[in-house]
Structure 1
Amino acid sequence: MTPWNPSRFSRRSLGAAAAAGALAAALPGAAEAAGPGRWSDCADGFASLPGLGRGPTTGGAGGATVTATTQAELTAYVTAEAPYVIRVPNTIEIAPRGTELRVASNKTIVGVGTRGAIAGGGFFLAAGVHNVIIRNLTIRDTLMPEDDPDDKEFDFDAIQMDTADHVWIDHNTLTRMNDGLIDSRKDTTFLTVSWNRLHENNKTFGIGWTPNVTAQMTIHHNWFKETVQRNPSADNIANLHMYNNYLQDVAAYGNYVRGFSNGVIENSYFERVHNPYYTVDGELVERGNVTVDCTWDEGLITSQGEGFDPRDFYDYRLDPARAVPSLLSRFSGPQRSIGT
């Protein structure tokens, strides 16, 4: 594995995204993409489905809407037994560094416009926690220079889930954390991760740490940029649907479908990625993807088995792969119209 070294990544312009812009405007699917004022408050993908005796994912809907401007207020609301829609209108500095606030069930945590941020910490969803929405936030900056390059001493994640279910992670910017940006651990399921920016990190999005093959998750319209490993690394996932993601300047590997996972990758755009997508033991179906200036190790398995049909579970619309860079440069990460 290539060691993490932030200096090796250049701040390249979004030339490919700009070039795709004109194409995106002309393509039927992309032209109809959701824009400001049109984002639904309802989860899609696997998070939208019932299962385990509960669901779909609605977060704190039905509970009081409150505003948190300090760590103490945020902690009180996210750990409460009652449902809450928790608005974050500013940057909340977390101390001590790396603290992961323990989120209880039936919560929506949403940034107000583009101003809501969690700096120096993150969120943890323990076993049994369910019905949580984390949306429209920037979660950033727990890097520990003394732990470079492996990020093994300080386990400071942006969002960690240990056997949680019915979780929607949407329109966030997650960056510069000392371990994972997202760790979906153990048997976390009914998870949708959509329209996020996952930038400048070593261990980006890890999935698994379980011998069971039960989890179901949807990962769509996310922009992975200047990352190294786990983009995602998905181990033992019963149904893994990844579509319309944009991976740019990825050093170690892109979508790694591990173990006995059953994965489908559709209409994603891979630019300057080493090993854009592959499997070893799992099933992987890929279709409609675009690779630009990518490199591959010899002998990689990029397609194996029959996969599954995501439409057997839910409806969705694919955008053309070549429109994805333009769409995500405009519409991923926190949006001014969400949380206001």
Structure 2
Amino acid sequence: MLLQTTCIFLLSVLLSSFSPLGTAMLNLTLPGAHPDPEAVAHEVHRKVNASIARREMLSVSEKDGSSCLTGNPIDDCWKCDPDWPNNRQRLADCVIGFGQYAKGGKGGEFYVVTDSSDDDPVNPKPGTLRYAVIQNEPLWIVFPSNMMIKLSQELIFNSYKTIDGRGADVHIVGGGCITLQFISNVIIHNIHIHHCHPSGNTNVRSSPEHYGFRTESDGDGISIFGSKDIWIDHCTLSRCKDGLIDAVMGSTGITISNNMLSHHNEVMLLGHSDDYLPDSGMQVTIAFNHFGEKLVQRMPRCRRGYIHVVNNDFTEWEMYAIGGSGEPTINSQGNRYMAPENPFAKEVTKRVDTQQSKWKGWNWRSEGDILLNGAFFVASGEELEVKYEKAYSVQPKSADRISFLTMSAGVLGNARDNNLGMWSRGPADDTTESGMEYTDDMSTTATMLLSSFLLLFFLSYTILRLTVIL
């Protein structure tokens, strides 16, 4: 009987190993969850208040070297170094919130992406982004020039990687986009991610030693699956088939900061299902982001866990901003919520498919938020003052301060929208949920440049001839 039971158990483990869902179901230890989430939220506020105080105390001028100060503690941490291009890995010391232990590729070698192609997901070429992210050792990945990387399949990361797009205009689009599955320590910084669509039913490599068959992906911009210590900062995300950023299956230790999100329906999902117990240890900080135009819902939509939404600018939603089910803790502090004109969509919050008798005990708190154009936040929970005592902000942030904190959200030095240069809006169809499609207009652009050059040459030649005649 014992032998039979043992064989059945081993068989179930073996079968589950072929399924990501089965593997996640075995992961019940919740590694990486912070034992005191309110203390982490309090530390975020301490750093924000310290940065704002420095900015207000010092005159903003080139003379005293304080022109870099914005009040945003993440940006002030690295941008105040005038030689930051030669000290890129300092960025890993600047993360705040639950993703504070995400070191990415710090201490590893620099890898320069010289090839924007993605032709072979099983045997990627050296110099490509895919070749870099699957390596076992820590890598700090940089880009020497602007490039558009059109993925053929999901870009599956290995642990200890940083994608650092500072200094270049880097777009990641196409099949599946970014997948972080059962890994840790990843930083994704200053990248455009958009027009991601489902891919799969083929083999994809995840490390130098392993590749495997992947079923069809959802088409997320960034999919975080059973992973921890993740930081997504200063990215611009839009127009993907499913979520822009989804974190499920026991993922935790995540900070999502300084991003620009726009043109999308279901923006961000945190938690696999109401009944998936490992997501009770999910801890996510959402800070200094700009939730921009043409967003519909899920900013985020939470299941279980502790979600700290702090100092974000919500300028548009069609259904609701923050929603949830499965008894998540939502700590909303110092955000600006601008309600839509629709009189039936003024509420910031939504309890999804849950009766009031059940959600009235959930800990949802609004503190220091700015509610505009009729916006209102329905709080809930018992003994809120005790539950949130350590996270209490010194002073509610003014609207001007929120503008300063989020003024650089998205990819630095570029337009906030992902409708740039080679990208154009297509006719409304089902290419993506937002009714947008992408087209490669490089040939059109080249033709226009050639025509302009010929016209300029003709005008110069005519002027020169007239000058000689006169």
Structure 1: give runs of 5+ residues left out of the alignment.
1-23, 49-55, 145-152
Secondary structure of the residue that 1:323 maps to in structure 2? helix
Once the two structures are TM-superposed, the CA of residue 178 in structure 1 deviates from its matched residue by: 1.1
Q: Aligned runs of 1:91-240 on 2, under 5 Å?
A: 91-96=147-152, 99-113=153-167, 115-121=169-175, 122-126=177-181, 128-142=182-196, 155-210=218-273, 211-212=276-277, 213-225=280-292, 226-237=294-305, 239-240=306-307
Q: Which residue of 1 aligns with 2:31?
A: none
- Provide the C-alpha distance between the structure 2 equivalents of 1:171 and 1:285, rounded to a whole number of angstroms: 26
SS in 1 for 2:110: strand
Deviation, structure 1 residue 233: 0.2
Inter-partner Cα distance in structure 2 for 1:244 and 1:271: 13
Letter of the 2:397 counterpart? P
- Which residue identity does 1:110 align to in structure 2? D
CA–CA distance in structure 1, aligned partners of residues 112 and 394 of structure 2: 34
Match of 1:32 among 71, 94, 100: 71
User: Which of residues 84, 98, 104 is equivalent to 1:46?
Assistant: 98
CA distance in 1, matches of 2:408, 2:363: 31
Give distance in 2, aligned partners of 1:319 and 1:174. 28
Alignment partners' CA distance in 2, 1:190 and 1:229 = 23
Question: Which of 302, 306, 311 is the aligned partner of 2:379?
Answer: 302
2:113 pairs with 68, 71, 86, which one? 68
Q: Which TM-score applies when normalising by structure 2? A: 0.56
After superposition, the Cα gap between the structure-2 partners of 1:143 and 1:294, relative to the gap in structure 1 and judged at 3 Å, is: farther
Question: What residue identity is the alignment partner of 1:335?
Answer: L
1:120 counterpart SS class? strand
Tell me if structure 1 keeps the 8 A contact 2:265–2:295.
yes
Secondary structure of the residue aligned to 1:141 is strand
Give the AA of the match of 1:94: K
Say if 2:132 is the partner of 1:77: yes
The answer as to whether partners of 2:311 and 2:402 remain within 8 angstroms in 1 is no
Q: Tell me whether 1:86 sits opposite 2:158 in the alignment.
A: no
Aligned-partner Cα distance in 1 for 2:249–2:154: 18
| Structure 1 residue matching 2:218: 3-state secondary structure | coil
CA distance in 1, matches of 2:324, 2:389: 16
| CA distance in 1: counterparts of 2:189 and 2:149, whole angstroms | 18
- For the residue of structure 2 that corresponds to 1:180, the secondary structure is coil
Q: Measured at CA, do residues 200 and 93 of structure 1 come closer, stay the same or move farther in structure 2, by a change above 3 Å? A: same
Q: Distance in 2 between matches of 1:101 and 1:205?
A: 19
- C-alpha change, 1:230 and 1:318, in structure 2 (3 Å) is farther
CA RMSD of aligned residues (A): 3.2
Determine the C-alpha separation between the residues in 2 that align with 1:131 and 1:316: 29
* RCO higher in structure (CA 8 A, sep ≥6): 1
Q: Give the direction of change, closer, same or farther, for the CA distance of 1:224–1:306 in structure 2 (3 Å limit).
A: farther
Instruction: Give ranges in structure 2 of 5+ residues lacking alignment.
Output: 1-51, 58-68, 82-89, 119-127, 199-215, 415-470
Partner of 2:33: none
Give the alignment's TM-score, normalised by structure 1: 0.76
For the 8 Å contact 2:250–2:282, the answer to whether it is kept is yes
Question: SS at the partner of 2:155?
Answer: strand
More strand by share: 1
- Larger helix proportion of the pair: 2
Q: 1:168-205 CA distances to partner (integer Å, 9 max, x unpaired)? A: 01110001111110011121100000110111111101
Identity %: 26
Are the aligned partners of 1:246 and 1:328 in contact in 2 as well (CA < 8 Å)?
A: no
1:290 aligns with 370
- Matched to 1:160, the amino acid is S
Tell me how far apart the structure 1 counterparts of residues 110 and 393 of structure 2 sit (CA, whole Å). Answer: 30
Separation of aligned partners in 1, 2:98 and 2:389: 9
User: Following the alignment from structure 2 to structure 1, what is the Cα–Cα distance between the partners of residues 174 and 389?
Assistant: 37
Work out which of the two has the higher radius of gyration on C-alpha atoms and give 1 or 2: 2
CA distance in 2, matches of 1:105, 1:31: 32
CA distance in 1, matches of 2:291, 2:260: 6
For 2:71, the aligned partner's letter is: E
Q: What do the CA deviations read for 1:183-235 (whole angstroms, capped 9, x no partner)?
A: 11121100000110111111101111142211111111111112111110011
Quote the Cα distance in structure 1 between the aligned partners of 2:247 and 2:187.
14
Structure 2 equivalent of residue 277 of structure 1: 349
- SS in structure 2 opposite 1:131? strand
Per-residue Cα deviation, 1:53-88 (whole angstroms, up to 9, x for no partner): xxx210001111111141441001011111111113
Runs of 4+, deviation exceeding 3 Å: 27-36, 305-312, 315-319
Match of 2:459 in 1: none
